[in-house]
């Protein structure tokens, strides 16, 4: 598929935002199913309902942020675009993991490899998300100070 110049090179942003919006819709239907007491969903999401709600809202929020960057039509470097899209997913998925695996959401996290992997994932997610949206914000802000041709 050829890339249209109207995307300002940011096609990965619109694709990522639409995928994460679809994920939010799937989670919304999962919450509806949980409220109806569907047994498979109760087994799958054995953690706190609020964590599932947080994942849903975070996917919506991240999609909105990415849609906003896309709408600005400011060309962003590939690493910033990918950091936004990947960070948006990993950040939102942290809540989803806690909804699926309640042991990750306990006041005293479990010891061992699982806890270490979750902590690494958490830190990598926060770093990636902060880099993508932080660097993107600086680039868009700087673009507002350039004289127009």
What is the tens place of the pLDDT at every residue in 67-107? 999 999 999 999 999 999 999 999 999 999 999 999 898 87
Over the stretch 2-22, which tens digit does the pLDDT of each residue have?
445 566 678 999 999 999 999
Q: How many residues does the chain have?
A: 149
Domain positions in the chain: 5-143
Q: What is the pTM of this model?
A: 0.89
């Amino acid at each position: 598929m050829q890339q249209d110049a109207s995307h300002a090179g940011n096609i990965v942003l619109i694709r990522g935002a639409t995928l994460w919006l679809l994920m939010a819709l799937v989670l919304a239907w999962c919450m509806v199913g949980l409220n109806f007491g569907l047994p498979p969903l109760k087994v799958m999401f054995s953690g706190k309902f609020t964590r599932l709600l947080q994942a849903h809202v975070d996917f919506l929020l991240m999609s909105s942020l990415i849609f906003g960057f896309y709408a600005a039509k400011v060309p962003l470097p590939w690493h910033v675009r990918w950091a936004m899209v990947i960070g948006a997913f990993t950040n939102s998925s942290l809540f989803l993991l806690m909804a699926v695996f309640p042991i990750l959401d306990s006041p005293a996290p479990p010891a061992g490899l699982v806890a270490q992997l979750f902590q690494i994932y958490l830190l990598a997610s926060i770093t990636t998300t902060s880099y993508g949206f932080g660097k993107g914000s600086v680039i868009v802000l700087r673009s507002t100070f350039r004289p127009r041709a």
